Chains A and B, each alone.
Chain A
Amino acid sequence: QVQLVQSGSELKVPGASVKVSCKATGYTFTKYAINWVRQAPGQGLEWMGWIDTDTGNPMYAQGFRGRFVFSLDTSVSTAYLQISSLKAEDTAVYYCAKIQGGGNMFDQWGQGTLVTVSS
């Protein structure tokens, strides 16, 4: 069955970098874009952007340009989110989610990765 499995929780100090992975199984990885969504503690969902898994072309939402990088390794059907120069306000659960294909709704989500930034 279709699954997105993300890497485990991370604890980082301010200024460090983190790379979150999202491994896809059960479907052809390059057929559907992968989105990244942030959820700060106790808050709602914020779309960070997406990456075209066929071309590798990323699109970043305003507010996620510069320190955030989406990438792929199609040989292992995995998408990555890298955040550099981490700040305390980056503390959040980060989700990957694939689009359905018939439209850009998100029909499968990873379990989420908690990134905690604290000194």
Chain B
Amino acid sequence: DIVMTQSPDSLAVSLGERATFNCKSSQSVLYSSNNMNYLAWYQQKPGQPPKLLIYWASTRESGVPDRFSGSGSGTDFTLAISSLQAEDVAVYYCQQYYDTPFTFGPGTKVDIK
């Protein structure tokens, strides 16, 4: 199984400041035949289901604000929020869909400082 790890476990950022957090996979999720990274990011607010933010490591889902951006390739990935808003308080999970079982990271909790 591909093991996903995330860092930090939590972080607190001031409103309007940049937040970045990381995701690492135990093996590459880059599929060589199409040069795509099979990596997604989800946002989960309290009491709500997860919401797809980013897929193919860097493609924003329709309707997701452009302050969210994803980067990275192979085994190391980053999600950035360029200017943190109050509504961005949530837990953020990365997930690989390169191979079954599809696995999630343990999440990074983002709060306002």
- Interface residues in chain A, defined as those with a beta carbon under 8 Å from any beta carbon in chain B: 35, 37, 44-47, 49, 59, 61-62, 95, 97, 100, 103-107, 109-112
Residue on B nearest A100 in the bound complex, by CB:
B55
5 closest cross-chain pairs (CB), A and B: A109-B49, A104-B97, A105-B55, A61-B101, A105-B40
Residue on B nearest A62 in the bound complex, by CB:
B101
- Interface residues in chain B, defined as those with a beta carbon under 8 Å from any beta carbon in chain A: 1, 36, 38, 40, 42, 44, 49-52, 55-56, 61, 93, 95, 97, 100-107
CB<8 Å pairs between A and B, sample of 30: A44-B93, A44-B104, A44-B105, A44-B106, A45-B93, A45-B95, A45-B107, A47-B101, A47-B103, A49-B101, A61-B101, A62-B1, A62-B101, A95-B49, A97-B49, A103-B36, A103-B55, A103-B97, A104-B38, A104-B97, A106-B42, A106-B50, A106-B52, A107-B52, A107-B55, A107-B61, A109-B49, A109-B50, A110-B49, A111-B49
Residue on A nearest B98 in the bound complex, by CB:
A104
> Would A35 and B102 count as touching, CB distance under 8 A?
yes
Q: How many pairs of A and B residues are in contact by the CB < 8 Å rule? A: 58
Per DSSP, chain B at the interface is loop
Residue on A nearest B4 in the bound complex, by CB:
A44
Hey, which chain A residues are within 8 Å of B38, CB to CB? 103-104
> Would A103 and B104 count as touching, CB distance under 8 A?
no
